[in-house]
Homo-oligomer: A and B are copies of this chain.
Amino acid sequence: MEVTRKNYKDCLNTVYSAIEEADFLAIDGEFSGISDGPNVSALTNGLDTPEERYTKLKKHSMDFLLFQFGLCTFKYDQAKSKYITKPFNFYIFPKPFNRTSPDIKFICQSSSIDFLASQGFDFNKVFCHGIPYLNQEEEAQLREQTEERRNQHANAASNPNFCFHHVNFILFLLLLSRFQRKLIYQTLNWKFPKGLHVETVETEKKERYIQISKVDEEERKRREQQKLEKEQEELNDAVGFSRVIHAISKSGKLVVGHNMLLDVMHTIHQFYCPLPEDIQDFKEVTMCVFPRLLDTKLMASTQPFKELITNTSLAELEKQLKESPFKSPQVETAEGFPSYDTAQEQLHEAGYDAYITGLCFIAMANYLGSFLTPPKAYISARSKLIEPFFNKLFLMRIIDIPYLNITGPDLQPKRDHVLYVTFPKEWKTSDLYQLFSAFGNIQVSWIDDTSAFVSLSQTDQVQIAMNTSRYAESYKIQTYAEYIQGKQQEKEKQTTKTWGEDSWVKPHYTCSTTSAFGYSRKRSISPMQGEQGADDAQITDGWSHYSYPDTTGTKKMKTDGV
């Protein structure tokens, strides 16, 4: 279902109930660009730490706009033994709410725009009919402003000094400036708090008048109530698409995505809050917004799937999961929703990509059921079998760390065969090969113009290389441990400085969300405790029968495209 500013309000309840009834949700985002850095490969060093990668993505990718959001809900129908899907394709655009609201600037990357154009992406739908949104702070500010305006009215009404005159007219004043309108409003509300209804009306020619009409007490109250409701509605309209994200968040449902780190980062950045500096804080925020995540690219790159799947790009994964030993999942599009045909690829429409991602998840989850005794053909989204894949987001092109672990410490692979080398900016890869020619096979991971990681094939060569370089003048070698230590010290120096300036208060992220349903709540960091589905109770024994996914020691990750 295509959702734009035009049909958004009519669709909202359909979206809410689809989320509410779903067993799991799949999401996907389309962006106006990927990276504003010099080139993508410089941004994805094969030996990045998760922290470095996060910092790079935050710095170079967050100024793009997430302008299409795909949501596909999946609800298992026991009677039909199939999933019923409800796909939504939202167009998003930060149309300024009024003259004082933020005027968002975003970057477009020509190659990304050109790619989307070649896929038939409809930019007019985004820019002319995209749904607006506010992040939490902007929403709070707007609520505050509205509240303040109301209080001013209320105060004026309770002012004991007013004098009441009977006025027997309806008056229209054409006012040129906002200041003049404000002045009239204040004076009238103060002088005639109960006998007059004052309202700004706009003609077709966009001329603004103040309409002053004499009303009795009951009518006045009715109109005040109307005004209040209108204000509330305008506020909700401004919060716009963020309400969908709030609803997803509040549902606590499993959210599935493919190579979803950027989707998660953009969603939080655009609809919740600017991303925190520290990766630990980012993990906390993520758990608040998306308490249960699953990345199908990470799942497909992990045991038992990695041996069976040669290409984990979404299109290829979907194809391979139709073949043995996997089974195409049984799905049906809910009535009233246009159904997608996987034979006719519509890749890179966010709604379709979300749908395909959901299919991939189902096929892989069900495959895990074949390891049980007796085998099961259907594995629910609440099954213990898929828990090992929760909250681990695929990290592109990192040699020895397959994922970012949202709910715990990240993997710290031994990198004691790695050297950090700095050199003049004229050096090329061949210079590095020559420098280390005595050590056999090496692997070079460029950091920037004047530095790179060099991985030696054997750890015991490290000390020899270090000794050889001691008197070198044009280049410098450090062990990986020394490099990390240096970075850590640099960071500590900076943190101390920042804390000193900002009165020693470190932000702490709690999950109090003013949700789409109008109340606040706190969410625990481990949202899954005590929420396991009863339908999986019997398979706990079966657990030991299939080889537990090896997500901790995967050394060779596939580095193909998304």
Contact = CB atoms under 8 A, between A and B. Distances in A.
Interface string A99-130: 00001111111110110110000111011100
A128 B124 CA distance: 11
A127 B113 contact: yes
Q: What is the size category of the interface that chain A forms with chain B? A: 20 to 34
A122 B104 CA distance: 21
B114 A96 contact: yes
A131 to B, nearest CB: 13
Point out which of A96, A126, A128 has the most chain B C-beta atoms below 10 A from its C-beta: A128
Contact of A103 (B110, B116, B123, B124): B110
A105 B108 contact: yes
Contacts of A32: 108
Contacts of A116: 127
B106 A111 contact: no
A319 to B, nearest CB: 15
A32 B127 CA distance: 11
B107 A107 contact: yes
A306 interface: no
B123 A33 contact: no
Contacts of A106: 107-108, 110
A345 to B, nearest CB: 14
A36 interface: yes
Contacts of A36: 105
Contact of A105 (B95, B105, B110, B126): B110
A65 B106 CA distance: 12
A82 to B, nearest CB: 34
A87 interface: no
A109 B114 contact: no
Given A105-B36, A117-B127, A127-B117, A96 B110 contact: yes
Contacts of A95: 110, 114
B107 A105 contact: yes
A269 to B, nearest CB: 16
A126 B108 CA distance: 13
A520 to B, nearest CB: 29
Nearest to A95: B114
Nearest to A63: B107
A126 B114 CA distance: 10
A390 interface: no
Contacts of A114: 93, 95-96, 127
A94 interface: yes
Contacts of A128: 117, 123
Interface of A: 32-33, 36, 65, 93-96, 103-111, 113-114, 116-117, 122-124, 126-128
